[in-house]
Structure 1
Amino acid sequence: MPKVEIYTKMFCPYCVRAKRMLADKGVAFEEYDITMGGPQRAEMIQRANGRTTVPQIFIGETHVGGSDDLVALERRGKLDPMLAG
């Protein structure tokens, strides 16, 4: 299974939605809380091609995007194959 990373902020309902979806699938993920900014926020923006909203989700080296993008992958049946590697 590829490494799953998610950049989040406190009190973000979209972050909660994305994390819940991954958890419901039994997917372990590494979470980076960028509520206070810092170097991880800059890292996220660079990795996400300038996107500044949260969450930003990465599966392996693939930038998935945000919560809506994750849900769209699931609806199209493409999320499970990505998670399987």
Structure 2
Amino acid sequence: MSSPVVIYTSAFCPYCAWARQMLSAKGVEFHEIRVDKSPGERGIMETRSGRTSVPQIFIGDFHVGGYDDLAAMDREGRLDPLLGLTGA
């Protein structure tokens, strides 16, 4: 069973779109939180991640980071096991 994936995003953010696209292509369901539509969520994101930029991606309690971090984990073969996609 995989951990829930949460991605903090905003409108007109290409890195957010790329992160959503990568996760969707892997068949991963995620909960998207738009910090531009819910300003209170930005503070929560900043507290959880220690960062102010979007996207910020969490798999369970693990903070992946932004899109570049997500893509690096995928290239290194560390993303699929974290997502529970082993054997894919």
SS at match of 2:80: helix
Q: Take 1:80 and 1:37, find their aligned partners in 2: how far apart are those partners?
A: 30
AA aligned opposite 2:60: G
Aligned to 2:58, the other structure's residue is in SS state strand
Map 1:54-65 to 2 at 5 A.
54-65=54-65
Shift of 1:36: 4.2
Q: CA RMSD in A?
A: 1.2
Q: How does 1:16-31 map to 2 (within 5 A)?
A: 16-31=17-32
Deviation at 1:37, TM superposition (A): 5.3
Per-residue deviation at 1:26? 0.1
Greater Cα shift, 53-62 or 29-38? 29-38
The percentage of counterpart residues that share the same residue type is: 51
Q: Distance in 2 between matches of 1:35 and 1:72?
A: 26
Q: What are structure 1's unaligned runs of at least 5 residues?
A: none
Q: Point out the more displaced range, 16-25 or 30-39.
A: 30-39
Task: Give the residue type in structure 2 aligned to 1:44.
Answer: M
Task: Find the aligned partners of 2:78 and 2:35 in 1 and give their Cα distance.
Answer: 28
The runs of at least 4 aligned residues of structure 1 exceeding 2 Å deviation read none
Deviation at 1:39, TM superposition (A): 1.3
Give ranges in structure 2 of 5+ residues lacking alignment: none
| TM-score, normalising length: structure 1 | 0.95
- Count of aligned residue pairs for this structure pair: 84
CA distance in 2, matches of 1:16, 1:36: 16
The two structures have a TM-score, normalised by structure 2, of 0.92
